[in-house]
Each structure stands twice: as structure tokens, then as C-alpha cells.
């Protein structure tokens, strides 16, 4: 046991020294580039106000073409607007997939617990347009 303890202590010491040497190099080389990339693409997040109860933040405009298209030109700032934008852009594409349960099998685990294993069928896809129709129908039922 003493040999194993000595070996593990040596490994720990080598890893510790490696961490001490490599981390500052990594931090110098990677952090500024990744921070600049984040700020350039999406814009910087700035605190606009704060008090004891709450804080408000705002994202400054970035240089991302996706941000420009979705947020700025199409004014998508809520989940509902995001879904409407996706329906308009991807109407006939696959949106929501479901699978039928064909069967259930009980599988006994080594610890004595029973695990239920499902046999599932193929995916049945609904397009964005079909999901939107169901969404509108659901809203009508709620009123």
C-alpha cells in the first residue's frame, strides 16, 4: 500500500505543477479572444438600473447577421413572436415529432428494481404550419 500511496502522491504533484504552469498560459491566450467574439457577435450586456428588489439589463446591438434579421428587422422579442417568425420562415419543414408506443417490456435490474422498456414506432412529423393550426385551435378552446 505504501508504494501505491507514494505513486499517487507523485502523480498529484505532477498534475498540480502542470496546472500551475499551463493555466496562466491558457488564460492569457484564450480569454480575450473568446470575450471579443462574444461581444462582437451578440453585443455586450449592460445593467441599465438596479435597486434592492430588482436589476434590469439590456443587450447592446451586436454585429451578428442572425441577431440583425430576427431581433432588429422582424422585432422578435417574445416567445409568441419567435414562434410566429419560425412558422413564417420554416412553414413546411418538420417541427414536432411524435412516436407511438408499440409495447412495454419489464426488465429486471441487478439491484432488483423493475425497469420498463418501451418499444417505439417511427416518428410522425408535423410541420410548423400544422403545429400553428393546432396552436390557434387550442387558443380558441381557451376563450
**Is the pLDDT at 70 greater than 80, yes or no?**
yes
Mean pLDDT of 105-110: 90
Mean pLDDT of 126-130: 96
Q: What is the pLDDT of residue 16?
A: 93
Query: Over the chain, what is the mean pLDDT?
Result: 85
Residues 6 or more apart from 95 whose CB is under 8 A from it? 86, 125, 126, 127, 128, 130, 131
Residue ranges of domains in the chain: 1-62
Task: Provide the sign of the torsion angle of the four alpha carbons 129, 131, 100, 109, taken in this order.
Answer: positive
Mean pLDDT of 28-53: 69
pLDDT in tens, 24-36: 888 777 766 555 5
Per DSSP (E only), the strands in 1-128 are 45-50, 55-59, 94-108, 114-127
Q: What is the pLDDT of residue 128?
A: 96
pLDDT top residue among 37 and 23: 23
- pTM of this structure: 0.52
Amino acid at each position: 500500500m505504501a508504494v501505491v500511496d507514494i505513486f499517487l502522491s507523485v502523480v498529484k504533484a505532477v498534475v498540480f505543477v502542470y496546472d500551475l504552469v499551463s493555466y496562466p498560459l491558457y488564460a492569457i491566450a484564450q480569454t480575450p479572444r473568446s470575450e471579443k467574439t462574444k461581444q462582437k457577435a451578440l453585443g455586450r450586456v449592460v445593467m441599465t438600473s438596479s435597486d434592492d428588489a430588482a436589476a434590469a439589463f439590456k443587450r447592446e446591438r451586436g454585429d451578428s447577421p442572425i441577431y440583425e434579421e430576427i431581433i432588429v428587422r422582424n422585432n422578435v422579442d417574445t416567445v409568441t413572436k419567435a414562434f410566429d417568425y419560425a412558422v413564417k420562415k420554416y412553414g413546411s419543414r418538420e417541427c414536432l415529432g411524435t412516436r407511438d408506443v408499440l409495447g412495454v417490456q419489464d426488465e429486471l435490474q441487478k439491484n432488483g428494481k423493475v425497469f420498463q422498456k418501451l418499444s417505439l414506432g417511427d416518428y410522425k412529423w408535423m410541420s410548423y404550419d400544422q403545429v400553428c393550426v393546432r396552436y390557434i385551435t387550442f387558443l380558441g378552446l381557451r376563450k
